[in-house]
Amino acid sequence: MKVSSRSFTLGLVTAWYSSNIGVLLLNKYLLSNYGFRYPIFLTLCHMLACSLFSYIAINWFKLAPLQTLRSRLQFLKISALSLIFCLSVVAGNVSLRYLPVSFTQAVGATTPFFTALFACFMTSKKESWLTYLTLVPVVTGVIIATGGEPSFHLFGFIMCVGATAARALKSVLQGILLSSEAEKLNSMNLLMYMAPVAVIFLLVAALVMEENVVGITIALARDDVKILWYLIFNSALAYFVNLTNFLVTKHTSALTLQVLGNAKGAVAVVISILIFRNPVSVIGMLGYILTVIGVVLYSEAKKRSR
């Protein structure tokens, strides 16, 4: 039984790694290499898939117990989270048009810095001095990586930092807005309620900012039908990231997920460099390594302070 359980957990972790890195690399390929320059529409496809598959997973396959919304206020709170979530994903996808995956992963690793910052200002939650000290190599590493990045692009960098900050803000706000036991939702139910709201936000944004994107996509599909399969597979993979994230947390722990996430960033960097052959400098890699070390130290300091 133990061997079977370990194999199942290993399979989940492998699926989580594969889907995370896969969707990241496919986003980069579509938005940069393939030339599909519509990050809002791409995110809209992701959220449509998440809406459909979340409903099926919870209501048909019972992968998580159904949690119902208790009030209009709770729905408004989820809508606010959904808007911030949309901003983070769209900004992240925009950054992939201009920056290599390796560099976006380095910037994304600074999420703990922004989380600690928002938590301090919004909830007055203070961490131990050791925890704050571990954030120094996190930020220093990104500064070094930025200076040593051959493919640096200012607008892409701003979008990447914005995406990272928005992810941290969502995490802090989720703890504030859904703090009562009655309002707490597991990640699967939260996604099921957030995704349809996100679709509405993204649909309006796509119509305004990416004019005639549906017509352009159809025209592209007539010339190369593979674009449709790319979008369908990419959207399904985006949902699978959330599903495997939930299952890995359920069968291990949130702390294990955090540790695995730190390692995932490094794996994604190596694979992206091998696939896209983007130039990297020794200084840039040293900066990223310093950031990863800082994140690991931050995780340890947080664990000890509990």
pLDDT tens for each residue of 58-81? 999 999 999 999 899 999 999 999
- Residue 17: what residue type? Y
Please tell me what DSSP assigns to residue 29: I
Please tell me what DSSP assigns to residue 35: -
Query: Residue 1: its pLDDT value, please?
Result: 46
Please tell me what DSSP assigns to residue 179: -
Query: Residue 236: its pLDDT value, please?
Result: 96
Query: Residue 153: its pLDDT value, please?
Result: 94
> Looking up tokens 């890195």, which residue turns up?
21
CA atoms in the 13 A half-sphere facing the CB of 199? 14
| C-alpha pair distances (Å), 167 with each of 52, 112, 278 | 23, 10, 26
Query: Residue 261: its pLDDT value, please?
Result: 76
Say if pTM beats, i.e. exceeds, 0.75: yes
> Looking up tokens 């930092």, which residue turns up?
161
Kindly state the tokens that stand for 100. 């290599």
- Cα separation, 101 vs 10, whole angstroms: 25
Which residues, 6+ apart, have CB-to-CB distance to 44 below 8 Å? 199, 202, 203, 206
Q: Kindly list the domain boundaries of the chain, sorted by start residue.
A: 2-125+152-274+297-305
Are 27 and 234 within 8 A, CB to CB?
A: yes
Among candidate residues 98, 28, 300, 50, the one with its CA nearest the CA of residue 198? 50
Are 158 and 17 within 8 A, CB to CB?
A: no
Kindly state the tokens that stand for 124. 């007055």
User: Please, what are the averages of pLDDT over each run of 10 residues along the chain (306 residues)?
Assistant: 71 91 95 92 97 96 92 94 96 95 91 90 85 91 89 95 95 89 90 96 95 92 94 96 89 70 81 87 90 86 76
> Looking up tokens 């290499």, which residue turns up?
33
Any alpha helices (H) in 124-253, and if so which ranges?
129-147, 154-177, 187-209, 213-223, 226-251
pLDDT digits 0-9 by tens, 86-107: 999 999 999 999 999 989 998 9
